[in-house]
A = this chain, B = another copy of it.
Amino acid sequence: MTDDLLADRDSWLTSTCSIARALDVVGNRTTLLLLREASLGTRRFDAFARRAGVSEPVAAARLRQLVADGLLERHPYREPGQRTRDEYHLTRKGAELLPVLTALRQWGDAWAADEAGPAIRLEHHDCGAAVHARLRCDAGHDVAADEIAVRPGPGLRRADRNPPTAP
């Protein structure tokens, strides 16, 4: 019947997809590289540009956009004998992209690594064990790719592509 939204994937609105909306914010390479730097503790403009390997104009534009989008905050600080500067640091909204960055790095380590192995290793501050991005269900089980079922959520709406009367 027509309410079978899952079987009728064509009727889904692309605009409803959270992945697409996330990509509107972090959907380009340099943004993710700058967020990587922020997550590793980089704070200052020139360090962002140099470490992420992007040109200064691009770094300036992306950082401005990241602040506008609320992923980074600027706030002034002062080193002794230096003038006041602004540093950029992650907001909660930005920090919550860490699973995305970690999952990307993990995949890169597994499938696009150089011979020498991973360049950096994240470890749990408390116990020293390596940190990974994992899929897990709220009941606490580890979930493999083929153990996942897709269900419609409350935000799912159908595209209204067909007029009420037949042509």
Contacts and interface: CB of A to CB of B under 8 A. Distances in A.
A99 B103 CA distance: 6
Contacts of A96: 107, 110-111, 145
A9 B104 CA distance: 20
B98 A104 contact: no
A53 B18 CA distance: 14
Contacts of A154: 116-118
Interface of A: 9-10, 12-14, 16-25, 27-29, 32-33, 36, 39-42, 47, 50-53, 93, 95-114, 116-127, 129-139, 141, 143, 145, 147-157
B134 A133 contact: yes
Interface of A, secondary structure class, is mixed
Nearest to A6: B120
B103 A122 contact: no
Given A124-B147, A129-B138, A139-B127, A19 B32 contact: yes
A133 B135 contact: yes
A42 to B, nearest CB: 7
22 contacts: A9-B40, A9-B51, A14-B53, A16-B114, A18-B104, A19-B33, A19-B101, A19-B104, A20-B29, A20-B108, A21-B112, A22-B107, A41-B150, A120-B152, A120-B156, A122-B150, A124-B147, A124-B149, A132-B135, A132-B138, A134-B134, A134-B136
